[in-house]
């Protein structure tokens, strides 16, 4: 069922005609022949949209729109008006109507308008829900509401208190360091959280940064220094982009993890350390091992527990929760009174693929706040590539019954779209789709059989 619609027209035949046409197209329809009866019903029952004629007798359609907007502002109203009566349609919009259609009404066009109205209601409700809970979501970009991020949060909670090495994988910009910090924060360790980007430090300096050095060990080494392994005693050492680490350093890291000791550059004595290692990479380390660009023994040493951070495009409405979080931060920093995200903006944020993930979303929202001229972000405030992005439609809009896909075809397209979005990860795809893995494999097998026949 697409949604519940309340139809109001003073002609019973028109109500029955609308009921027949809309129910054939997947709606549940209730009708009334007077505005007063409809308003009474709205007080006790819930509808996803209201469809009303403009001429109703004692209480006009425009007055009804105003009453519905006051009584049930969450329920969108679509007005039917005679062809050419633009003045009445404009009056209805000003009174609070969502949209209007002209008589004689094409049933397919009416169904499409009502479907958009219902989607608008759902999106508005979701934005309000996120706004109500975002103030306490300091780690919203870690936890989220999506099944994929709930699984990440659950895994973090389960392994945080152990000393096992953790490998965090995921695309660039997904927030892998935030996951590492969450692991540390929940671990109960009293020591510090120290991080280093292995790709940003030259190999000649990386050993000194990690293991420390003696005074005079090299030029400019005017004093002895502890390395990060020792400085992180009692805490967590986070090695970001470990897949970029040179092979020579990989061997030294492996020995340090095996012996739980490091030898500072220029020293002959090893120093013990008590730091938990968390590593992260956006590379496929198993492929790197197969291509002999990453040591297999080090891979198994750091990959005791793996946590995969899903891409933003696979996190559904987490996008809006994160956007609201970033909006509040950016508005506070800039001193601007931007408090809301417009519905049209929310639709574009949800349809965009976010190749830069959370980092790209944060930059997008900061830019939008900087450009905003009103109390809400509007489409014109978004970067051009997001503003002009048209999401790939799983179900093409067509009013021709011969061009409409079957339900099996719609399901097949959606499954393939989700698989593409999560990079072919069937476990994550099953989670996004709400299937267990066995169900997903069975559906994929059916799709393959149809394709090969």
pLDDT averaged over consecutive 10-residue blocks of the chain (453 residues)? 89 90 92 89 90 81 87 90 71 86 85 90 75 43 71 88 93 92 89 93 87 74 83 95 93 94 86 94 92 94 94 86 90 90 86 90 95 91 84 49 65 77 73 79 74 50
Are 252 and 282 found together in one domain?
yes
> What are the beta bridge partners of residue 261?
272
How many domains are contained in the chain?
Answer: 4
Backbone phi, psi, residue 308, to 5°: -100, 125
> What pLDDT shows up at residue 104?
80
pLDDT of residue 404: 59
Q: What is the CATH number of the domain that holds 302?
A: 3.40.50.300
pLDDT confidence of residue 48: 93
Considering only the C-alpha atoms of the chain, give the largest distance between any 2 of them, rounded to a whole number of Å. 97
pLDDT at 30: 94
User: So what's the pLDDT on residue 140?
Assistant: 37
152 with 300, same domain: the answer is yes
Place of tokens 């190999």: 203
**DSSP code, position 265:** B
pLDDT at 138: 39
Burial of 209 (0-12, 13-18, 19+ CB in 10 A): middle
229 lies in the same domain as 335:
no
For residue 187, the tally of other CB atoms under 10 A from its CB is 20
Whether residue 414 is found in the same domain as residue 335: no
Do 32 and 165 reside in the same domain of the chain? no
The answer to whether residue 140 sits within a structural domain is: no
Structure tokens at 237: 């050492």
Distances (CA, A) of 172 to 169, 283, 306, 347, 356: 9, 9, 17, 24, 7
Assess whether 272 and 238 both reside in one domain: yes
The domain of 374 spans 315-354+365-387
What's the per-residue H, E or C state across 170-221?
CCCCCCHHHHHHHHHHHHCCCCCEEEEECCCCCHHHHHHHHHEECCCCCCCC
Say how far residue 217 (Cα) sits from the centre of its chain. Answer: 49
Model-level pTM?
0.60
Indicate whether 74 and 196 sit together in one domain: no
* pLDDT 10s digits, 301-324: 999 999 999 999 888 888 888 898
Count CB neighbours of 20 within 10 A: 11
Residues 6 or more apart whose CB falls under 8 angstroms from that of 241 comprise 197, 198, 199, 200, 280, 281, 282
* Residue 176 and residue 111 share a domain: no
């Amino acid at each position: 069922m697409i949604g519940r619609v309340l139809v109001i027209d003073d002609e019973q035949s028109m109500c029955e005609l609308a009921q027949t046409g809309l129910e054939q197209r997947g709606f549940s329809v209730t009708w009334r022949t007077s505005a007063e009866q409809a308003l009474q019903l709205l007080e006790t029952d819930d509808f996803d949209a209201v469809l009303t004629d403009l001429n109703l007798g004692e209480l006009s359609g425009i007055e009804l729109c105003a009453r519905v907007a006051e009584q049930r502002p969450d329920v969108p109203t679509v007005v039917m008006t005679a062809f050419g009566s633009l003045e009445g349609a404009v009056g209805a919009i000003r009174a609070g109507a969502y949209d209007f259609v002209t008589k004689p009404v094409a049933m397919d066009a009416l169904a499409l308008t009502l479907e958009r109205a219902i989607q608008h209601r759902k999106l508005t409700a979701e934005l309000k829900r996120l706004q109500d809970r975002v103030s306490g979501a300091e780690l919203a970009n870690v936890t989220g509401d999506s099944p994929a991020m709930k699984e990440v949060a659950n895994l973090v909670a389960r392994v945080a208190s152990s000393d096992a090495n953790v490998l965090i994988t995921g695309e660039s910009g997904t927030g892998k360091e935030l996951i590492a910090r969450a692991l540390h924060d929940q671990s109960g360790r009293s020591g510090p959280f120290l991080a280093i980007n292995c790709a940003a430090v030259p190999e000649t300096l990386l050993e000194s940064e990690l293991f420390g050095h003696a005074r005079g060990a090299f030029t400019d080494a005017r004093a002895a220094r502890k390395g990060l392994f020792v400085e992180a005693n009692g805490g967590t050492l986070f090695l970001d982009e470990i897949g970029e680490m040179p092979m020579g350093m990989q061997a030294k890291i492996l020995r340090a993890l095996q012996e739980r000791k490091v030898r500072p550059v220029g020293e002959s004595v090893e120093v013990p350390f008590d730091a938990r290692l968390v590593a992260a990479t956006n590379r496929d380390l198993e492929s790197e091992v197969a291509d002999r660009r990453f040591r297999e023994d080090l891979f198994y040493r750091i990959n005791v527990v793996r946590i995969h951070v899903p891409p933003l495009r696979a996190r559904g409405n987490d996008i809006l929760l994160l956007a609201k979080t970033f909006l509040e931060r950016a508005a506070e920093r800039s001193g601007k009174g931007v408090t809301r995200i417009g519905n049209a903006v929310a639709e574009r944020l949800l349809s965009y693929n976010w190749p830069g993930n959370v980092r790209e979303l944060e930059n997008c929202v900061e830019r939008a706040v900087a450009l905003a001229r009103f109390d809400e972000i509007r489409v014109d405030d978004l970067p051009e590539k997001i503003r002009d992005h048209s999401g790939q439609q799983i179900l093409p809009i067509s009013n021709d019954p011969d061009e409409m896909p079957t339900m099996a075809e719609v399901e097949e397209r959606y499954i393939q779209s989700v698989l593409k979005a999560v990079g072919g990860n069937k476990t994550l795809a099953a989670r996004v789709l709400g299937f267990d893995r066995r169900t997903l494999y069975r559906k994929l097998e059916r799709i393959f059989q149809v394709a090969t026949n």
